[in-house]
Amino acid sequence: MHRCLEIPEVVQLVFENLSGTGKDGNTPASIARVCKTFHDPAIRVIWRKIPGLDVLTCLFSRKEKALIIKKVSSIQKQRVVTMFLQDSGFLEEASFSKTFLRYSSLVQEIEYPEDLKRPVFHHSVLQAFYVDIQSPGPLFPNVKKITLPCFSARPLEAIFYPGVVLSPSVRAVTITTDELVDYVGGTGSLLDKEYWKTIGSRLEPFAARLSSLTIGSNTRTTANSGLSVPVVNDLCSKFGPIQSLDLDGVMLSIDTLVLLSRCDTLRYLACVVPSIASQFPDSLMFPILDTLNLEICGVPSVSVCNAILRRLRAPSLCSLSLGYNVNDLASKVSLEETFVALCQDSVFPGLSRIEIDSGPEAGPDGPDTHGPDGLVISKTTFDPLLGFANLNMLIVSGYSRVDLDDADLLRAFASWPKLTEFWLYPSGANEQGWPSRHQDHARGGPRRPSTLPRHPPPVSCVRFPHPPIRRRHLSLTSSLAKNMGLHELTDHVRRSGGKVPTQMVPTFTAQPLCVYVSPLQPPPVLRCRNWN
């Protein structure tokens, strides 16, 4: 057997069989059947002999409450070699203890399921195994990245599980939780439950070595943000060379922000801050921060948000996502002042990606809170940004009305030669079938520097020619389509080689449009598509 595994073609064949390409694919049962045909020494040889593999080992659960250790190819990442897959009772077998300890040092990443409907690998089984083997050190001594559960329905996991999987080698921690979705306290409430305190005490000895901390849940579908978690603020005060801090829906105190500004390694920051501009220091400097996702909760007026922006300093900032929910937008408000605050004193000279979310979009469960004269995009709204020559993405969400025509847009596009993405999400867009930014966030996976969809909505059955690869694409809304005029849109489409069938004419005023712009031909030629 060992001699056979010296032949690369044989190793590749074994690898493909372990990956599972039959009609049942990579199911636990199919992989288990294949793995049972090999003895442990052969599995060891396979582990070492398969070319192009990086050690990426995951611990998570299946229907059988199984322990799964897998290795993912750095070349073909969809192929997975599963080393162990059995019922949790196998942890009690003495022979497995030796095998597990042999491979546990290879574990570098431990994941955990977020789906509460899926049966879990019960924490007590792993805890009992850890006690029985009497390991002199951590169970996974070389793990670099872990996911810790913190679910209100299973608080004991948050208490016992971290003690088993944490190790001094850990550098990246993700806490997945349902608290940010289901917590009834609301914005600004205190989240100080016992199992949060336990997680904090478990992480405290390792905080100085962490390079990344993430808190959040992919199931979050609403803007219920701004929970104050004292444990998180305490951990932030103990960070060393932290590089990424992604706190989805967690409010940081102003004192904590001041501490983080003194960290000369922080590059990514996503959090919620209170809307008390007077308590912010005059200059809050983040020396090498390149991505900032900032939510300001309970904003009494747009001027408060602008005052906070004027106190921030980030000379290396490239991507800014700003979200705020203004309490009263009954009167006409313009984004121009916010953009002026971004441009003052050149505090963000390198900005290339900007996203502004002015509040929750209305949906089937609620009316449009902005009213007819709420947040307005006027002819001069984008003028302060015309100096950002490196701008390649601009997203505005939650506006009520657009007072623009195509000439205003083309003037702005001419000032942004690198622009590739331009999205306008109206307030109440999801009533028209357009995904809201939070629905898009939930669908798109882990939090990203922007809420730009990974996959655009499907194109309608009427298709126009695809634009060249170098052309930029922009998304406009029904209100903007009305302002531009249906005849003007039709002319643009016809000049670009497409046609607008009469049966599509009514939909132009009912749904968002995707507009493609050629950056090289003056004047630019617009191409339109209608999205369902």
Are 31 and 18 in contact by the 8 Å Cβ rule? The answer is: yes
Q: How far apart are CA 76 and CA 46, in angstroms?
A: 16
Q: What pLDDT score does 8 carry? A: 62
pLDDT lower than 70: segments of the chain: 1-99, 102-103, 113-125, 180-192, 217-226, 277, 299-300, 325-334, 359-374, 405-406, 426-532
Enclosing H/E stretch for 526: strand 526-530
pTM above 0.85, yes or no: no
Mean pLDDT of the chain: 64
489: buried, middle or exposed (CB in 10 Å: 19+, 13-18, 0-12)? buried
- Report residue 148 as tokens: 């810790």
Enclosing H/E stretch for 175: strand 172-177
Task: For tokens 């299946």, name the residue.
Answer: 62
Are 447 and 441 in contact by the 8 Å Cβ rule? The answer is: yes
Q: What pLDDT score does 437 carry? A: 41
Q: What pLDDT score does 214 carry? A: 92
Q: Where are the beta strands (DSSP E) in 309-436?
A: 312-313, 319-326, 333-334, 353-357, 375-377, 393-399, 401-402, 421-426
Q: What pLDDT score does 269 carry? A: 93
What proportion of the chain, given as a percentage, has pLDDT over 90?
A: 8
Angle of CA points 358, 359, 361, to nearest 5° = 115
- Calculate the dihedral angle through the C-alpha atoms of 372, 302, 404, 456, rounding to the nearest 10 degrees: -90
